Structure 1
């Protein structure tokens, strides 16, 4: 059985505290805008819905974090540099200007991924270009 406190916490986590009255009014078809006036089964339904939404958000963030980690490992692999997970997370934190890797917001993870992916592609191009120059020089010698 969910409580009003749990519902309020779920709304707060998703940044919906200011829209609480509208959400409750929509859910109850205008019967009430107050959390206190909700029936226990309504609180349960709302909590289940927002828990499911939070799980989707968490999965999405997890996926984005893993992409950033993967691209950073890819860059270091192309540079023939062995790095640890902590090192890679540290780079991402430094780039995002945060202390904790898990506190990097979703939109920032997207921009970091795009920037590091571009860097990785640039490394691929420069490696192919230099290899071509070396092969050309070997042919002339």
Structure 2
């Protein structure tokens, strides 16, 4: 699995849009939402937003799934700079992790500004749905 993070220009880097690509040779199922950790492998992960929920997103080799992380809210709490982000994966049971983490490739190798209340969307096969949801909640 490979995951790339991007920002939308009009978004002021408030949300990290993630594209996961199945780089293996077997079908892969991404359950629920990404388990995101910014600093250590044991920190508490951001909870899911009330985004269009899916129990799973199944992708064949070469296919993509999408999710987003709300990093901060305009006028919200103070942000901290985070040099990297890792994504872990749920097994069929929520909060049972499976597999190793994937480090998200950030735009220009940069870092992220994150407040005290980041949240994630569920995995989805439709990039436009994830993006429209993230921009609708601001």
Superposed pair shares fold, TM > 0.5: no
Give 1 or 2: higher helix fraction.
1
Q: TM-score when scaled to structure 1?
A: 0.22
**Larger radius of gyration between Structure 1 and Structure 2:** 1
TM-score, scaled to structure 2: 0.22
Structure with the largest fraction of strand:
2
Structure with more contact order per residue of length (Cα contacts < 8 Å, sep ≥ 6): 2
